[in-house]
Amino acid sequence: MRTNVVLIEQTNELKYQAVELKNPGPNEVLIRQKAIGVNYVDVFFRNGTFPVDAFPAPIGLEAAGIIEQVGAAVKNFVPGDRVAYYGATGAYAAHRVLHENDLFKLPDDITFEQAAAVMVKGLTVHMLVKASHVVKAGEVVLVHAMMGGVGSLLSAWARSLGATVIGTVGSAAKKELALQRGFEQVIDLQTEQMTGKVDVVYDGTGKTTFQQSLALVNPGGSAVLYGWPSGMPDIDMQWMEDRSIHFVSAVLNHYPAYQDKSGKAMNEIFDLIRNGVLNLDHPTVYALTDAAKAHADLESRKTTGSIILKP
Ligand SMILES: NC(=O)c1ccc[n+]([C@@H]2O[C@H](COP(=O)([O-])OP(=O)(O)OC[C@H]3O[C@@H](n4cnc5c(N)ncnc54)[C@H](OP(=O)(O)O)[C@@H]3O)[C@@H](O)[C@H]2O)c1
């Protein structure tokens, strides 16, 4: 069958195009995709920061949809099942063929949109608050880009663990949104200086924030670097060693809960949606045909929260 996909061209642009899809093999299924997650790492693959094998290159890590067809040896799924997956490159597509081991069944009370908005970002936060630095009640936590996709989940999750969250944002409008969500200590980096003392800084922004925010970390605290859209910061290990600051470079690909494609850790994250800690009811939605616009808006810091594409 033919389907529509978005691929990265050699020019570092995204192109929406029709391609021929192979039939599912014995252990594979055909999925009609309903919602696709957009992550900043997709921008890094598109713009050449991270290499791809060959052009045109598939892009996108996660999606949710409905199984339309199953291979002869598929054991765990039947047509009509609602499913989701993460960590399988090529998600920017209307239909996909994947091995059944890449998928998990989506609970009935989680929408396709919520799943696409939360899987990679939610597992990133799972890693950040449970492994990179274990957030404890009473701690003060600094979150950069606190209204971004990962940032808004991280801020809400850390607060639910009993931490006080100080957050930074890149505009007055984002500050207003953060205040509406009940965060009291919000710093608009365009007009305000970072102040305070914190037990941990979570930095998914990079060069423009990392070194400055280290000055706020208490001796014995943690500095977790997990992304660098503003560029890779210079990392002064001696400076951190002198102050007993624990430096962590956090990478989701190496996190066991992400490597396990059965979605086990997702249940914990879905529970946080069910009990209202994480709110993913209104992700920003773009048509799959507008994937290039979604990237442009993400890169130019126009978006807040999670972004999804709909075929
Ligand atoms: N380590 C891992 O394995 C892992 C896994 C997933 C995601 N990540 C990282 O997590 C971070 C957040 O990802 P996301 O998908 O949720 O994106 P996002 O936070 O929704 O978007 C990026 C945000 O970063 C801030 N920013 C500051 N300087 C920027 C610049 N020069 N260019 C663009 N943005 C800038 C902006 O917020 P303000 O305007 O409010 O500053 C922007 O909205 C990214 O760095 C991503 O690579 C890492």
The answer as to whether 87 is a domain residue is yes
Could you identify the atom of ligand 1 that is nearest to the CA of residue 303?
43
Domain coverage including residue 108: 2-118+260-310
Q: What is the pLDDT of residue 281?
A: 86
Tokens of 240: 């951190």
Closest protein CA for atom 18 of ligand 1: 148
Instruction: Dump pLDDT digits (tens) for 252-283.
Output: 999 999 999 999 999 999 999 999 999 998 99
Could you identify the atom of ligand 1 that is nearest to the CA of residue 306?
20
Tokens of 253: 């690909």
Among 183, 186, 176, residue whose Cα is nearest residue 157? 183
Q: How far is CA 8 from CA 34, 67, 75, 89, in A?
A: 21, 26, 34, 12
- Helix orientation angle between 112-127 and 149-160, rounded to the nearest 10 degrees: 70
Q: What is the pLDDT of residue 262?
A: 93
Residue 299: CB within 6 Å of ligand 1?
Answer: yes
Q: What is the pLDDT of residue 134?
A: 98
* Mean pLDDT, residues 37-57 taken together: 97
The answer as to whether 128 is a domain residue is no
Among 254, 233, 226, residue whose Cα is nearest residue 153? 226
The answer as to whether 131 is a domain residue is no
Residues 242 and 278 in one domain: no
Q: What is the pLDDT of residue 303?
A: 97
Residues 77 and 47 in one domain: yes
Question: CATH no. for residue 160?
Answer: 3.40.50.720
Residues 73 and 148 in one domain: no
Could you identify the atom of ligand 1 that is nearest to the CA of residue 41?
47
Q: What is the pLDDT of residue 110?
A: 98
Check whether 33 has a pLDDT greater than 90.
Answer: yes
Instruction: Dump pLDDT digits (tens) for 64-119.
Output: 999 999 999 999 999 999 999 999 999 999 999 999 999 999 999 999 999 999 99
The answer as to whether 288 is a domain residue is yes
CB 143 within 8 A of CB 166: yes
Residues 88 and 65 in one domain: yes
Closest protein CA for atom 27 of ligand 1: 205
Region of residue 57 (phi > 0: left; psi between -120 and 50: alpha; otherwise: beta): beta
Residues 83 and 154 in one domain: no
Residues 284 and 199 in one domain: no
The answer as to whether 126 is a domain residue is no
Residues 64 and 162 in one domain: no
Residue 132: CB within 6 Å of ligand 1?
Answer: no
Residues 241 and 279 in one domain: no
Distance between CA atoms of 62 and 275, rounded to whole angstroms? 23
Instruction: Dump pLDDT digits (tens) for 120-173.
Output: 999 999 999 999 999 999 999 999 999 999 999 999 999 999 999 999 999 999
Q: How many Cβ atoms sit within 10 Å of the Cβ of residue 97?
A: 19
- Cα–ligand 1 centroid distance for 47 (angstroms): 15
This prediction's pTM = 0.98
- DSSP-derived letter for residue 173 is H
Number of H helices, E strands in the chain: 9, 16
* Mean pLDDT, residues 23-35 taken together: 98
- Cα–ligand 1 centroid distance for 70 (angstroms): 37
Q: Is 137 helix (H, G, I), strand (E, B) or coil?
A: coil
Query: 249, 284, 301: which is the final residue of a domain?
Result: 249
The answer as to whether 255 is a domain residue is no
Residues 113 and 6 in one domain: yes
Amino acid in position 263: G
Looking at the 3D structure of the chain, how many domains does it have?
A: 2
Q: What is the CA radius of gyration of the chain?
A: 20
The answer as to whether 101 is a domain residue is yes
Closest protein CA for atom 9 of ligand 1: 227
- The residues with which 64 forms a beta bridge, in sequence order, are 35, 84
Residues 189 and 95 in one domain: no
- Cα–ligand 1 centroid distance for 208 (angstroms): 12
* Mean pLDDT, residues 279-299 taken together: 96
Question: CATH no. for residue 301?
Answer: 3.90.180.10
The answer as to whether 129 is a domain residue is no
Averaged confidence pLDDT in the chain: 97
